[in-house]
Structure 1
C-alpha cells in the first residue's frame, strides 16, 4: 500500500533511537501518521518543524499499519514565527487543535485548504487574529458544531443580534434575551462578518468560539481537555490590545 501527496506537518515525536513519528494533515487523506526513518538526524530533523508544508510518500505492507513516510520540504514556515510570539502561539494553537480533534485518515478537504491559507498568513499580525477566528468557526462547522448566527432563535429577526445561545449555538436578539442575557455568550459583529473587526471584538469572538470548542467539541471527543496551546494564543493576542 502506498500513496503520495502534500500535507501540513502537525506534530513530531521521537521513535526509537533515530526515527520519528509524524502526524501530517493532507487534503485527501486527512490526518495521517507514519514513521520517518532517520527523522532525528541533522539532515531531516530541521525539515520536521510543525507547520511545514511537506511532500510525503507513505508506504506500508497493509493499509492499517502505521507505515513509513519519505518526506521532502515544500515550504518551511519556521521563519514566519521566529521571534514573533503571537505567530508562534497561533501556529501551536492550530496544530494542537487539529491533532486534538481530527480523526485519523478521514478527509476534511475544505478545512485543509482553509488551514493552509491561514498558516500562509503567519507573521502578518494585523490579519492573523481575524483569520484565526474565522478558521475556528470553520473548524466547528466541519466537526458538526457550526454556529447559526443568521437570525434570532426566538423571534426569527435578523436585527440587533448580540448574543449566542450556549446550548444551541444560535443567535439571540437583544429584546429576546430578556432576563437570560447574563447567561448568553457575546455575539460581536465580527462573528457575523460585519463591521470593521476591531481587535476587542475579535477577542470577544474567541471567547464564544472557545466556549463551543471546550464545552461541545471536546466532550464529544471524550474526556480530553482542549489543548492549552489555544489558551496561550488567546492570552498572547489579548496582550496586544
Structure 2
C-alpha cells in the first residue's frame, strides 16, 4: 500500500528563508533608521541648548553695556579708562574678541571689577577692588569688564581679575559680530550694520552669528543669530 508523503520541497524552503530574510532586514533597517534619527535629534537639541545658554548670557551683558551708574561717565570721579569705551571688538587671523564694560547683575557671578558709589544727583566715585560702605543716600553699582574670545574652535571668557580664559563652549565653527549703527549721536535708529565701527558712540545694537558643529557628525552644522539692543547709548 502506497502512502502519500507530504512536506516542503527544497524550493519552498529556500523561498521561505528568502522571504524571512527580507522581512528581518526590513525591520532592522527601520530600527537602525529610527535610532539614527533619534541620535541626530538629540545632537541638534544639545547644540540648540548650548547656543541658547551662551547667546542669552552674551545678550544680557550687551544690553547692560555702558550701564555705569545713574550719572554720566564724565561726572564719575576716578573713573578708569575702560569706562570711556564700554564696548569694543577686535579681530585677527587667529582670534576674535568682544569686550564689554557692563553692569554686574545677580549673585554668584564673581566680584565686580569696579564699584561706583553715587547719590544720583551730583556725586559719583569709582573704586577698584573693595569700596567703602555706602553713605546715606548713596547707591552702589557693580561694574564688570568681560571679554568674550573666539579662538581654536572655542568660545572663552575672561576678566581683568581672572585673565586666564575659561572655556564657555567647544565645537564653535564660526563666531561673527556686527554692530547696528545710528546715523548721528542723537538718533536711536539703526541705519546699517558695521563689523568695524569707527565711532563707538553710534552703536545701538549688536548682531551675533554663531555656527556650532557636532563633533560626532550626527547632525549638520547649526547656525544661530541674535540681535541685542543696547539699553544705554554709548554717547
TM-score (norm 2): 0.21
1 or 2, which has the higher strand percentage?
A: 2
1 or 2, which has the higher helix percentage?
A: 1
TM-score (norm 1): 0.21
